[in-house]
Amino acid sequence: MKKTILITGGAGFIGSHVVRLFVNKYSDYKIVNLDKLTYAGNLENLSDVENAENYIFEKGDIVDKDFIEQIFEKYNFDGVIHLAAESHVDRSITNPMEFIMTNVVGTVNLLNAAKNIWKGNEDGKLFYHVSTDEVYGSLGNTGLFLETTSYDPQSPYSSSKASSDHFVRAYGNTYGMPYVISNCSNNYGPNQFPEKLLPLFINNIKHSKSLPVYGDGLFTRDWLYVVDHARAIDVIYHEGRNAETYNIGGFNEWTNIDLIKVMCKQMDEFLGNPDGTAEGLITYVTDRPGHDKRYAIDATKLKNELGWEPSLQFEEGLKKTIKWYLENEEWMENITSGEYQKYYLEQYG
């Protein structure tokens, strides 16, 4: 069955893994990757599939309504997998408006374009909105996020994602838009921009720079290998039920400091340094304002309904991740020049 699918944000971290999986697995689909190529978007992430016959790249901004309408008219998409977003909590604290524009206005532009072009012909169409567990807010020491947990976003980032989730559901409810939403926990793996915890710390250890741990380091996150997230998106896109939400997670909770210590140990082994070298770089710094204490996902619905489970144990995934960053120095060098230096100075002094 031939399908034309729009993947937004395909040059970013998770998007590039989703594009790769779809291009390689579905040779009869046409995959259109639409990306603005912000600081976080990098076509190098897709160099292995850029010449595939079933792959097309379109550079553009989802906030640009006219451009989005033209793209929908040009391709007549059967489905949309929407990942394009501003995704970093710290940046949302310094510049919330950018998050409202891309995450909320951009999502509504896509919904409008899909609604107008699919009107009266919604059969077989799907708007898949990729979201985050951060919309549920912060947990205490116990409990897990379920699909039915009330939204309680605490940061400008999570508020913008929560808002976009609400708009997707509203379009389903009001206009009959076929949709599915997934809310995933923290991803890690190759191609993540080094503003997020793991790639930032791997890169800092390599250059013997300090590791800025926010607050007491006792914040908890659930971590999932990015390829497993892409696998989940594939399963949900093809087998998820209309108007449903699926939580995606790794069944893998860590406090930041424990995770950092495991990573430091592995880094010492990889670099051939004496045990404890990387840990010596840990520096406790001022906490992130409004820092969510704990996220933990219950992904049982996805497991029971669609048979998805994470394929990798965490320590194995972490090893693969570190190895990738160490073997792809050029990738790291290319994106840590210029603007990145400015961001680093502003964020960490």
- Residues marked active site are found at 133-134, 157
The count of other CB atoms within 10 Å of the CB of residue 29 is: 18
Number of C-beta neighbours around residue 283 at 10 A? 11
Which CB, 30 or 161, lies closer to ligand NAD? 161
Residue 158 contact partner, candidates ligand TYD, ligand NAD, none, CB within 5 to 8 A by sort of partner: none
State how far the Cα of 192 lies from the Cα of 190, in Å rounded to an integer: 6
Neighbours of 339 (CB within 10 A): 10
Q: What minimum distance in Å lies between the beta carbon of 127 and ligand TYD?
A: 24
Cross-strand pairs, 175: none
- What part of residues 277-296 is at the interface with ligand TYD (CB under 6 A)? 288
Contact string (CB under 6 A) for ligand TYD, positions 170-209, x = contact: ----------------x---------xx--x---------
Rule CB under 6 A: choose which of 5, 6, 7, 41 binds ligand NAD: 41
- Mode of pairing for the β-strands spanning 179-184 and 186-188: unpaired
Q: Tell me if 127 sits within 8 A of 173, measured CB to CB.
A: no
Asked whether position 161 contacts ligand NAD by CB under 6 A, the answer is yes
CB of residue 288 to ligand TYD, shortest distance in Å = 6
DSSP string, 305-322: HH-----S-HHHHHHHHH
Q: How many CB atoms lie within 10 A of CB 66?
A: 8
CB of 324 to ligand TYD, least distance (A): 17
Closest CA relative to residue 250, chosen from 298, 294, 217 = 298
- Residue 256 binds ligand TYD (CB under 6 A): yes
> Which of the listed partners (ligand NAD, ligand TYD, none) does 184 bind, with a CB threshold of 5 to 8 Å by partner kind?
ligand NAD
Residues 95-134 within binding reach of ligand NAD (CB under 6 A): 102, 106, 130, 132
Q: Return the number of the residue (84 or 89) whose C-beta is nearest ligand TYD.
A: 89
Q: What is the token pair recorded at 316?
A: 């194995």
Q: Find the helix packing angle between 256-271 and 197-206, rounded to 10°.
A: 40
- Residue 24 identity (one-letter amino acid): N
Q: Which residues bind ligand NAD (CB under 6 A)?
A: 8-9, 11-15, 35-38, 40-41, 61-63, 83-87, 102, 106, 130, 132, 161, 184, 186-187, 193
The residues that touch ligand TYD, with contacts defined as CB under 6 A, are 89, 186, 196-197, 200, 212-214, 219, 221, 256, 288
